Structure 1
C-alpha cells in the first residue's frame, strides 16, 4: 500500500537514459489486433472515470459510462456511497439505461425486471409461479464493479484483483492534495469524435515541443521554454510538465509588449510599468504576482488558494494520468481531457473536454481557459460533436484543443506511410516514448 502523503522523486522526463528505446511503430495506431490487445490487457484492468461526483448528489442518481462495447452504471446509494454495476440485466443481458438520470430502482425495458439501487433484484414477472429454480427476487444481483472517487471524479475498474484507486493513481493524490478539486465547477462539457487513434492525444499532451508551432498564443501566457519547464515522470506511466505561468523569454510578442501578463499583474495590484526590462517584467513580475496572491487571496475571495503553495497559485502542472486522462491544473481552473477508442474503428477516438473552474466569491461568470466566458454553474448538457475538420465545433476555433485536433487526422494518416519507421524524438519528448513503453508493459502483462 502506498503512503498517500509521500511523493517519490520523479524521473527526469527529459533524460532519454530513462528509456529502453522501444520503437513507436505505426501499426499500433491502426491495427485492429493491437486494439484488441489493448482491450484484453489494458482497458479491462485500469481505472476509468465515469463522471463527476457533482452529477449524482442524491440517492438514486446515477451515471452511465459507455466504453467500447461495455456500459457501466455508477449509482448513489442511500448511505451516500457510490456503487458501480454492469449495465446488463441479469435476466437476458438487456442494456437497461442509456443516460445519466435518477431512479429509485432500474427497470429493464424488455421484461420489466426491477433492480434496486444496491443491485439486488426487487421484482420479476411471475416470480413465485414460473421459476422452478425458485423466486429470483432478493437472490439475484447485478454484477458489481469496484468503484471509488478522487478529485471530484467517480472512478471504476473492471478488474476485481487490480490495485486500489489510490495505488493506481499514486503519486497524483499526494501531489495535488492542496487543490480542492471536488469544489471545481464543470462549466463546459464536450465529447468530440476525432479521426485519429486515442494514443495521439496522450502523445500530444506528453510534450510541449509542438507549442511554439501549433499554439503561438501560449508563450505570452505560459513559459514552456526547453530550459524552463520541469518534465517529470513516474514508473506507473503518470507524468507532468510543470510550467511557469509567465511570458516566455524566447518567444516574445511583436512590439515587445505582453498585454496578457500586463493585465494579470494589474488585476492583482501590480504596476506593470515598474520594471526596467522585459526580463524583469516576466521574471520579477512573476515573483511579485506570487507575493500579491499570497497576501490578497482571502480578501479577493480566492478561497481555493488557502492550502495552495506559491508554485500552485501561479503555475500550471500539465499532468497525464496513464493511459488516457490529462488534467491541466491552473490556479483558478482545472481542464480535464480524455481520449477513448471508438468501438469499431481504431483510427477514430472520442475526445472529452471538461472545463472546470474554482468558485470565487462574488463571481457568477468565469473565463474558462478552453471554452471562453461561461456562467459559473454546473453544465448539465454534454455537447456531443463530430470534429469534422473543425466545422463541428466552430465555437472552439483558435483554442488550444482545436489546434491540436486540427493536427490529428494528418498525424493518423502519417502512421500508414512507408516513410515512417519510428519517432526521432527530442529530449523534451522523452515522455512520449516512455508512455509507449509502459503501454507495452501492460500488454505484455508486466503491469501493474
Structure 2
C-alpha cells in the first residue's frame, strides 16, 4: 500500500494501463535521425540537465563542464557561494574556452586572449581601447547565461530561457526524498561508457523490473521485485519509481543449503537468521526485525544518515526515474545515478553514465557500491571514459547488474530495425515504459514544457 505524505501529491498506479493513451512505441524512435532532431528541438533544449556534482566545485572559481551533443555549458561557483551557468562559447568569435572541469580566476579564450570573469563579464580584450569603434567592450559584454540551480548535491541547468523552474520540473522528487542527506554522499565510482544503443533504452530498462528474473538472477535473493511486492508509481511530469523491499523474493528461492545474502545482512545487525522456522518467516519477519534493529543501533554504529529516514527508507530501494534520462537508486546506504545522453550525430549510440555514491559511515574505509563492487570510501578524482565493446571495455564490472543491462542494449537496438517489430506488447508492470514515451511525445509536440 502506498504511503501518502502531505507534501507529495499521490502518484498514479504505475501498473494501471488505463492511465495511458496507447501511443505506439515504434522502432524508428530508436534510430531515426529525424526523430532525434525532434528530441533536440522539443526536449533537450527545454528540460533541466545535470552538469555535475556540487562537491566538485566547493570554492569560488571552481567550474564544471558539461558537453551535451554539440553544446557545452560551464557551471561555475561564484564568490557568494552561488552557482551560475554560461555557454562555453567566447562572446568574441564563439571559441570553446575550456574542455574539462577545473578551477580558474577567470576564463581565458585560447584564440585571441579575451578574458571573462567567473561572473561572465568581459574583463580584458586585446586592443580594447584602440581598435573598437563601437567602444571598449570590457565591462559591457557578458557570456550568455543559462538558468541554473542545485538539488540533491547536483548542479542543474536548462537551455530554455522560459519554462518550469528547477523545483517545478523536479516535483515531487525534492519533497519525496527530503529525508536523504544527498549532499553528503561520496562518489566512489564514476564511469562514462559509450554504448551502441539509443539513449531511450536506458530509461525503458529502468522503468520496469519485469526483466530482473531473467537478466539479473543475483537480485531476487536480496531485493523482492515480485509482481505483487514492488510498488509502481508515476507522476504526470513523467517521473516514476518502483519501490522494492530489500528482502528475499518469495518466488525465486535459492537452492536448499545455499548461504543466503540476506542472512549476512541480518547478522550484520545482530539478528540470528537461524531463529526463523520457515523461509517465509526468514524473509518477511526478518525484514521487519531488520527495521527495528536499524532503528535501535544506527547511532552507535555510525549510520548518521538514518537520523531522518523512515522505516521504508532504511530497508528498501525506491528505484527512481527522473524524466527523461536520469535514474537514481535510493538504497539505505548508497545512491546510484544512471544517466543516458544521446550521441551528437548517431541516434544509435549513447553515453551511459554510472555514478556510485555512498553515505559516509564512521569507521568505514571502503564500501560495497552495489554496481561497481568494493571501493574505497573516498571521492574518485576523475571519470573513467570507456567504450562498452561487448563488455571488453569494462571488464572490472563484469557480472554487475549494470553490466548485464548493457549486454542487452545492442541486441535490443538491433531489434528495433526488424520488420517483425511494430509496437511493444507490455505487461501491466511495464506501464511506465509507455507512459515515458507518451510524455516524451508531449514534449516534442509542444504539449509540455
Q: Which interval holds the TM-score relative to the shorter structure?
A: over 0.9
Q: Secondary structure at the match of 2:438?
A: helix
Shift of 1:162: 1.1
> Which residue matches 2:255?
254
Q: After the TM superposition, which segments of 4 or more aligned residues of structure 1 sit over 3 Å from their partners?
A: none
| Contact map agreement 2:78 2:84 (CA 8 A) in 1 | yes
1:12 aligns with 2:10: no
User: Is 1:375–2:376 an aligned residue pair?
Assistant: yes
Tell me, in whole angstroms, the C-alpha distance in 2 between the residues paired with 1:371 and 1:5: 36
CA shift at 1:5, angstroms? 6.9
CA contact (8 A) 1:220 1:258 kept: no
Does the residue aligned with 1:296 lie in a helix, a strand or coil? helix
1:16-95 equivalence runs, <5 A:
16-95=17-96
The yes-or-no answer on 1:400 pairing with 2:401 is yes
CA distance in 2, matches of 1:259, 1:391: 30
Matched, 1:361 2:362: yes
2:92 aligned with 1:101: no
CA distance in 2, matches of 1:192, 1:287: 38
Following TM superposition, by how much is the alpha carbon of 1:6 offset from its aligned partner in structure 2, in angstroms? 1.4
TM-score of the aligned structures, taking structure 2 as reference length = 0.98
3-state SS of 2:332 partner: coil
Return the alpha-carbon distance in structure 2 between the equivalents of residues 372 and 413 of structure 1.
Answer: 30
Shift of 1:221: 1.0
Q: How many residues align?
A: 445
Aligned counterparts of 2:6 and 2:90: Cα–Cα separation in 1 = 41
When structure 1 is superposed on structure 2, of 338-347 and 364-373 the one drifting more is 364-373
1:298 is matched with 299
* 1:184-226 deviation digits (Å, cap 9, x = unpaired): 0000000000000000000000000000000000000100000
Return the offset for 1:256. Answer: 5.5
CA contact (8 A) 2:148 2:158 kept: yes
**Following superposition of structure 1 onto structure 2, how do residues 125-274 of structure 1 map, counting pairs within 5 Å?**
125-255=126-256, 257-274=258-275
Following the alignment from structure 2 to structure 1, what is the Cα–Cα distance between the partners of residues 175 and 64?
Answer: 27
Distance 2:416 2:249 in 1: 33
Hey, what's the Cα distance between the residues in 1 that align with 2:429 and 2:6? Answer: 29
Could you tell me which runs of 5 or more consecutive residues in structure 2 were left unpaired when the two chains were aligned.
none
Q: Aligned residue for 1:429?
A: 430
CA distance in 2, matches of 1:365, 1:23: 46
Aligned CA RMSD, in angstroms, stands at 0.8
* CA–CA separation in structure 1 for the residues paired with 2:258 and 2:222: 12
- CA distance in structure 2 between the partners assigned to 1:429 and 1:367 by the alignment: 29
Unaligned runs of 5+ in 1: none
Give the CA deviation at 1:257. Answer: 3.9
- 1:90 CA drift (Å): 0.1
- State the partner residue of 1:121: 122
CA shift digits 1:57-107 (9 cap, x unpaired): 000000000000000000000111000000000000000000000000000
